[in-house]
Amino acid sequence: AIAPSAMEDAAQHRGLEVRAYATKGPWRRKDLALVSAMGPVFLSVGWQTARFVGLLAGVGATAAVGALVLLLEFWLVEFYCWARLDVRQDLSNAELCVVKPRHAQTRRAHKCKLTVCEDSGEVSFSFWNARYVLDKKSGSFERLTNRVEGTRFADHLRAPGIASARGLRDGIRKWGANEFAFSKPEFLPLLVEHMLAPFFVFQLFCVGLWCLDEYWYYSLFTLVMLVMFECTVVKQRIRNLETLQQMGHQPQAIWTFREGQWQRVSEHTLIPGDLISISSESGFAETFVPADCLLLAGTGITNESILTGESVPQWKVSVKFRSPKDGFSWRRDKQHVLFRGTTLIQHDEDGVSHLSPLSRQKGSPDGGLVCLVLRTGFGTTQGDLMRTILHSTERMSANSSEAGLFILFLLVFAVAASAYVLYNGIYLTAPEDRDPFKLALNCIMIITSVIPPELPMELSLAVNTSMLSLFKKFIFCTEPFRIPLAGKVDACCFDKTGTLTSTRLVFEGVGDPRRDMSDLGGVPEIEVPKDPACDATKVLVGCHSLVAVHGKLRGDPMEKAAFKALLWTISKDLAKPKKGNPHLRGGDRYMLKILKRFHFNPTLKRMSTVVLKRAMEPSAPEAAGGSSAGEYLVLAKGAPESLRESFSRVPDDYDEVYLDYARRGLRVIALGIRRLQISDPLVVRGLSRSQAESSLEFCGFATFSCPLKPSSSETLLSLKQASHRLVMITGDAMLTACHVAREVHIADKPPLILKEAGRATGAASTAEAIESAFEWATHDGTTDIAFGLSTAMELSRDYSLCVPGKVVTLLAGLGPSALRQVLPFCSVFARTSPDDKEVIVKTLKDVGHTVLMCGDGTNDVGALKTAHVGIALLNSVKPAAPRRRWKKTIREWVEEEEEDDSLPVVSLGDASIASPFTSRFSTVTPCVDIVKQGRSTLVTYVQMFKILGINCLSSAYSMSVMYLNGVKMGDTQATVSGVIIALLFMSLSNTSANEKLSAARPHSKVFCRYFMVSMVGQFFFHFAYLYGTYRYALTFAGDDVAAAPEAVPAGAPGNSTEADPASGASEKEAGGFEPNLVNTVAFTVNFVIQLATFAVNYVGEPFNVNIWRNRGLAVGLVACVALTGLLISGAGGPDLDSTFEVVALPEELKVAIALGGLGTWIAALCVETAARRLFPERLHKNLLL
């Protein structure tokens, strides 16, 4: 289970950077001033250059600048503020604000309208389905939320509800409706918004350039491809929003205490401060909690699996027995809170506190739980999960800054090639042969060739393919940008109980050090108690948090195991032996009625109950049997070291016995009992926790075995062999954790445990004091080694270091430097609190690790959110096996296939409030799947940019060569080449991850030695191939074979048999595109290079499947190679040559192109292989210890 309160605290108050602005007057707007200044300049230059034609060109240039300014204002909020707005310190004069979240993944600024309430003067704005209000004292905006942290319980118990209609109106105006309301955009406006994105506008500009150069088919193909892609994205967004709108439950009518009386209202009208009644017998199929509520009266049991994935029912108790002076805490008092969206399984009515105004109303009208509404709508814990799903729409953004720098790096070469063409056209071309328009057009097209139109589709498809692959394995992701981060993971942290080990514990029995061991010669044997008078049995069956739902026990697996072994059962708060229990017969039979519970406290590490023990009459029905006499008992259980201080007398070998049990890998629980000399039930119910848990009598150690989950050892061994550091972070006992750590390969060296040296540690506030208070000890306790902060790294070379959570807390008090000296070198952390787990993960991140955290418990939420990759294991629903269904019609088959292949939206119940990744499987196997898929996505991302780089450099050179010789690529050539490259890129993006996790690590950066050496080395050979074939082709320029009749029919338009490619004759002089030798060589050679680049740079094993298993890419490459062979050899005949607008090649040139292509292919493969072996990805230094 995930602690909803912890998530609520972490997510509801994320920091925002907010700046207020007011609109400038038209005469002060900088955008208008800029356009007004540029317009006369363009008009003047145009008039002087070409009179009326130039004047029209000047008007067009001015309009283009104006359009660019408007687009910049639409794209960049900062530019919009600079051009149109003035900063306002006085918010009363401000009209809007710019909001920028501080967390790194969503740093994009957003414009929000400021609203000022006329009555109260309150200044606020709405952002991401949350309202932020100006705090006049601090001068900053804070999220509007009902601040109840630290408020006294007495104030909540006295809450009168909503007393007037005006208070209700003001509350609804302030808090809004209690629903998840968000607008669903229409298709056309959303499509227009997508088409105004920077990349789409840039590609439209490129399409316009291609049209000017008469590439009609290629321009049309590119435009259709771009529009279809954007339509697909828009359709998917709308479909996801429709799915989100259908989530949640149908609104229910709730009994609400308003204006001094109970009335039924829709849950949508609830506001913080309402008093409501919730009953599990409401008449609905399921009773859903309508808001985050504080339980004032009654006891309930809820199912919180929709938020946490944990199917164990949660006890909810009222606050009326708490001290009225105590302060409320979301983290500490979650047992008093019912969370929105959870299901109320059953409840018990109880009278309200005498402090409540409802005491005169005799409680609730339907006998339900009386609750105070704390938070509603998107302010609830479920609302925060909904906001995460709604706004986690980021596309792949790993190394986005490097991607931008890489495109700038390519732009340098493109500008150099363009500059050379420009220089040649201005200084080396006769004025009468110079065409300024064509020259400028060619230079711009060379520069814009750096970014291909299919780039956004490639990156989106890479991430979507990974998400779909994970979805098919029942792994759900709410933050897609974290998938590439999973490929960089080098430290994996795991919880123990419920994650590595099974939640189905086995009760082994009770060991009692008080028994005479003179004949046993050691630690007392463990046995299941059979004596009817055994106190250990009373504690095990009377101190629990189980509930009976439809005749089945639900709750803590450890407690269920004890009940099963002891043959006991429960009915509400009555614990009694089963009918067939052979150990309790006749007059020995008794039952225990729980009068008061002190639930398990993670800080105290214990729980207790106050019970009434009654004998059961053999002849009376068990449900109502028992004598009037009874005995009041306090039953307690908890961690041996925690409960020890509560015992009146502790056996001499107390520590020796429980430590020996723990070394065997058993989970050890100390049991205690106290017989109360009280007969008044009211006095018994009034006992405080400190009074009850004192002067206990020790009655043994209950031991439970916790078997490993089937795949835990195999999975962690796979991760360890794949160059990952493994760490266990658990709240369990140290020796038990060490035992499990050895079994799952976390502790592969002799364990060295940090324990107290017998000195007081409470006031240890310096490094010296902590070092003197603790010492290292071997697993069997025979060897002691002095503890020093600076010696942890050296000890980790020979030992697996195991540290208790207490040390983590003490080191955190010294600061980050002390934590970095010890924690990164430890393998096991035991007895840790939720804060300790978060500190450990943060420290691993601080020293440079990319951290994966996997857990399923309430103590894991902070660590799961802090880690780069947090994985929550859900146990609530077993995933259903996929079923094949007969397809009745072709239309149905197509529709179902489209639905199956679309990117799924994560729904409530599939996502956990704790982490970006959630798995419906309870084993740790999904960790390997996520790491494999992350590596595959990361490798695909990096190789795409390398292929892009090599192709862009080659294209820039080949385009410059053709432009210098007055030739260009044919429209058909450009279209076919664009289609083929787009299909190859899509096949590349759609690759599958390799089944086996490798020890080799993928390169995670674009700018690294491997990447640059490989790209530059390959381009060197490709450039040599391009330059050599081009120079060799010029030697055939005067021959008749330059354009043989077989290639283009004689007399047909475009035949250039007599043209000399080196003479600078332009195609426009012949009236259109004319295929010739230079064009044919440039096209075929560039196509060979592109195919070689895809084949050589495809990264298959060990991260992706082999290239031959990627059917789309393999078949595509083979088909393209065959097509290229036909074009080079001329075996396709005149029809194929005419289709691709090429001419027949001389025999010597055919051989040169074929052998050169084979040579550059082999050379590029050698360069790639050598670079990968010479410059592997570096391991983190801690992995080398």
**Active-site residue list:** 495
Q: Is 183 exposed, middle or buried (0-12, 13-18, 19+ CB in 10 A)?
A: exposed
Cβ–Cβ < 8 Å for 991, 1102:
no
Pairwise CA distance, residues 371 & 144, whole Å: 22
248: left (phi over 0), alpha (psi -120 to 50) or beta: left
**Is the Cα dihedral 952, 955, 957, 963 positive or negative?**
negative
* Measured CA distances, 984 to 228, 448, 1061, 1126 (Å): 18, 21, 32, 20
Burial of 727 (0-12, 13-18, 19+ CB in 10 A): buried
- Tell me if residue 197 falls in helix, strand or coil: coil
Residue in 989, 974, 994 with CA at minimum distance from that of residue 1113: 989
- Cα–Cα distance for residue pair 986/464, rounded to 1 Å: 12
Place of tokens 């409706």: 177
Three-state DSSP class for residue 727: strand
d(CA 103, CA 449): 35
From 1086, 1110, 1082, 1098, select the one nearest 1160 (Cα to Cα): 1086
In the three-class reduction of DSSP (H, G, I as helix; E, B as strand; rest coil), residue 1008 is classed as coil
In sign, the C-alpha dihedral spanning 354, 357, 358, 360 is positive
Read off the amino acid at residue 421. Answer: V
Which structure tokens are listed for 1016? 């530059």
Residue type present at position 498: G
Q: What residues form DSSP beta bridges with 375?
A: 292
d(CA 396, CA 1085): 33
Say if CB 1033 and CB 1043 are below 8 A apart: no
Host H or E run for residue 532: none
CA 150 to chain centre: 31
State the greatest distance between any 2 C-alpha atoms of the chain, in Å, as a whole number: 122
C-beta neighbour count of 619 within 10 angstroms: 6
Cα angle for residues 101, 105, 107 (degrees, 5° grid): 40
Residue 1087 near residue 985, CB atoms below 8 Å: no
Residues contacting 324, CB < 8 A, separation 6+: 152, 153, 154, 157, 355
Closest CA to 369 of 282, 459, 286: 282
Give the distance from CA 270 to its chain's centroid: 32
Residue 923 and residue 875: Cα distance in Å, rounded? 9
CA distance 936 to 886: 33
Residue with tokens 């010296």: 768
The DSSP line for 632-644 is: EEEEEEE-HHHHG
Q: How long is the chain? A: 1185
Other C-beta atoms closer than 10 Å to the C-beta of 1151 total: 13
Structure tokens, 84:
């149109």
Q: Is 395 exposed, middle or buried (0-12, 13-18, 19+ CB in 10 A)?
A: middle
- CA-based nearest residue to 633, from 612, 604, 605, 607: 612
Let me know: does 671 contact 637? Beta carbons within 8 Å: yes
The residue type found at 927 is C
